[in-house]
Amino acid sequence: MRRQTLTLLAIGCSAAAFLPGAASAADALPEGCDLDYRVKARPDLQPAALEVELRFAAAGRRESVIRAVPAWAGVTDYAASYGDWQALQAGQRIQPLAEPFRWQVLHGPDEVVQLRWRVRSALADPEALKPQDQIEMYRTQVGARGFQFFGHGVLPSVEHWGDDRLTRLCLTLQPFDAQSPAFGTPGRSVPGQALTWRLSGSHARLRHAFYASGPMWRLQERPVQGGVLDLAVRGSYAKLGDAEFADASARLVDLQRRFWGDEQAGKQASASHQWLVLTPNHLPSNNSGGTLVDKVAVMHVPQDFSARDGAFEFLVAHENLHQWFPQRFGAHGGGRRAKAEAGGDVLDVPHYWFSEGFTDHYSYRLLLASGLWDLDRYADKLTERARAYLRSPARGLKAAEIAPRFFSDREAGRQMYSRGELLALRWDAALRQAGRGSLSKLLQGLLLPPGTREDLTPASERVLQALSQALAGTGIDPADELRRYVAQGEPLPLTQQSWAEAMGPCLQRIEESVPVWQLGFDRASFQSRVLQGVDPEGPAHAAGLRDGMSLAGFSVHGGDVRRDVLLQIREPGVDGAPGKVREVAYRPVSRMPQQLPRWQAKADAAGDASCRAWISAR
């Protein structure tokens, strides 16, 4: 197994000016750079855009191919936002290839190739108080008071500098204005000065990164175990101030670092600026999400987001835990070599049982171990998660069926989270019962030093191999269970006994008759705006709704049996005039309840030594 350690240098400094036109021989490639990117915002354009320049040595070649990312985080049309391509050296030419996402550059064999392009902003005004679906948060945003972007949508690579080779990479990010720093994965610059990132490694590091600047951002920092946590906020939140966000987030980050005994990781993260970034999505309550890229957790939340509810604690805990899962255990997905052979970033869904499922598991367990949650709250969350798995219409889907729907179909995508979380509970219980430690001890023994990259061995494979060795002879074969319950979609063996073992010594299970949420018609009606598939036995039919009715508007709280579905039905018009709109409200509950488990703390849990030991998650 080959291990490579990438060197990283984040510097705030003044950058050379952007090239105004055709370059001269004096504009040589900077020393120590195989690829040199320069990015600045152009809010003066219509639409606003980022302007990007790239320089690299021809190295004896007469042509090169530039490749953009086909898809990431549910965005499948990044290349559509690229435009205004220019070759800045006389005699050099760039032209699109027939294959999407690729451009051919013609040049001399001894030249420095110099290109410029623009990436249009996905939103006319990023600060407008308009709902932004999750997919918009992963697109490039440039406005009158700042910008944000992920490298996936802005920084195409040069194919002969593939992701499977070490490359000396340089990137210079210009601040939005003279009063603002540039910040993100590379660190933070002095206000008004450029941020330069130099690293030796895969181009994937530049892509899987976050960049931002401008007066719309408010920056803070807080001390945490082993270093400092940087925080950036934009937008306003009725129930959450900047200082409260920073203080509450720092508590969660600090407890995670202390649990993993990872002070050195904290120091390294601090040295290269670990960020928590908060952005508004202007969606209804309970619509939040996020992602972790290199050293930056970016979260998007509604305006009523609060530090005093479970959604805040879970979102921050989950996204920050990605500092460990999966990157501190090895490569993500199929590894860097598999990505390169596939021709780009690929989504290897079966591996999400670890990177997302184990992250969910430890988000809840560490909130309990820290004392921020009590047993009752933890039991309620386990009940919610287990019921979601048992009731999911996607529960029997194979991983191969989930892959193309991972980002677009919430129920399908959540299966990887649920399956991994339940297996984490099951395997932790098996290790403890066999007297072979715990899942936490096993994982702590697999932690890689900060900054290490495992090019050949995916994190999930390393963990699976260690689990298989630790559980040998117990009757539990993790590899077989992964194949059956994750890849093939077989239902997990959730018998009364297996549930009791997996949920630990603090909780007890009871059975309840639970109302079942039922919309009562086909969800495709929301797109067609015509009701279809109305179930004659369902609640929508009982409320007087029928196939063919025109749908003018709707309000639906999916899965919440306590809140009505509100539909606006447009009546047929007369003589071509639009008909009147009437409102129909009904409770989306099936006639047949469902028997489902619920967990609650045992009466003697507080005095049970085995329970107290289990709560520690050690």
Residues 294 and 348 in one domain: no
Residues 490-500 as b or e (16 or more Cβ within 10 Å = b): eebeeeeeebe
Instruction: Write the burial class of residue 170 (CB in 10 Å: 0-12 exposed, 13-18 middle, 19+ buried).
Output: buried
Residue keyed to tokens 């990010």 = 173
Claim to verify: residue 501 and residue 566 sit in the same structural domain: no
Whether 447 is covered by a domain: the verdict is yes
Q: Which of 447, 424, 445, 35 has the alpha carbon at shortest distance from 202? A: 35
CATH number at residue 294: 1.10.390.10
Q: Which residues contact 410 (CB under 8 A, 6 or more apart)?
A: none
CB crowding 140-152: b at 16 or more within 10 Å, else e: bbbbebbbbbbbb
Residues 533 and 404 both lie in one domain = no
Looking at the structure, do residues 223 and 126 belong to the same domain, yes or no? no
Q: Is residue 404 part of a domain?
A: yes
Question: Do 275 and 308 fall within a single domain?
Answer: yes
Q: Count Cβ atoms within 10 A of the Cβ of residue 569 and give its class: 0-12 exposed, 13-18 middle, 19 or more buried.
A: buried
What phi and psi values does residue 271 have, to the nearest 5 degrees?
A: -60, -35
The answer to whether residue 520 is domain-embedded is no
Same-domain check for residues 204 and 345: no
Residue 374 within any structural domain of the chain: yes
Neighbours of 71 (CB within 10 A): 17
Whether residue 329 lies inside any domain: the answer is: no
Phi, psi of 247 (to 5 degrees): -65, -45
Specify whether 400 is located in the same domain as 431: yes
Residues 580 and 495 in one domain: no
* Domain end point (choices 164, 179, 213): 213
**Closest listed residue to residue 427, CA positions, set 356, 507, 360, 481:** 481
39 in a domain, yes or no? yes
Along the chain (618 residues), what's the average pLDDT of each consecutive run of 10 residues? 32 35 54 94 96 94 94 88 94 93 95 96 90 87 97 94 85 97 95 94 91 98 90 93 94 91 52 80 84 91 82 87 88 48 43 92 93 92 90 89 81 90 94 94 90 70 95 94 93 74 87 91 91 96 96 86 93 83 95 90 90 90
Return the number of other C-beta atoms located less than 10 Å from residue 548's C-beta: 8
CA distances from 80 to 64, 435, 441 (A): 21, 56, 47
381 with 445, same domain: the answer is yes
Mark whether 189 and 316 lie in a shared domain. no
Count of CA atoms in the C-beta half-sphere (13 A) of 161:
25
The predicted pLDDT at position 346 comes to 39
Which of 213, 248, 269 is the endpoint of a domain? 213
- Which residue from 318, 311, 317, 348 is spatially nearest to 331, judged by alpha carbons? 348
Structure confidence at residue 225 (pLDDT): 86
> pTM here?
0.77
- The helix (run of H) or strand (run of E) holding residue 398 is none
- Helix, strand or coil for residue 75? strand
Q: Which of 87, 105, 229 is nearest to 158 (CA)?
A: 105
- Domain residues for the domain of 419 are 335-512+597-615
Q: Pick from 269, 293, 321: which residue ends a domain? A: 321
The string over 235-259, giving b where at least 16 C-beta atoms fall within 10 Å of a residue's C-beta and e elsewhere, is: bebeebebeebbebbbbbbbbbbbb
- 202-228: burial string, b at 16+ Cβ within 10 Å, e else: bbbbbbbbbbbbbebbebbbbebbbbb
Q: Same structural domain for residues 122 and 15?
A: yes
CA distances from 139 to 1, 75, 259, 389, 587 (A): 36, 8, 34, 31, 37
Total domains in the chain come to 4
CB atoms near residue 591 (< 10 Å): 11
Q: What is the pLDDT of residue 323?
A: 85
Measured CA to CA, the distance from residue 254 to residue 263 in angstroms comes to 10
- For residue 293, tell me if it sits in a domain: yes
Question: What are residue 603's phi and psi, to 5 degrees?
Answer: -60, -35
CATH classification of the domain holding 189: 2.60.40.3650
Nearest Cα to Cα of residue 422 among 481, 483, 375, 510 = 481
Classify residue 106: in a domain, yes or no.
yes
Residue 150 vs residues 119, 262, 378: alpha-carbon distances, Å:
12, 28, 34
Q: Give the per-residue SS3 of 414-482.
A: HHHHHHHHHHHHHHHHHHHHCCCCCHHHHHHCCCCCCCEEECCCEHHHHHHHHHHHHCCCCCCCHHHHH
Q: Are residues 268 and 292 in the same domain?
A: yes
CA 8 from centroid of its chain's CA atoms: 23
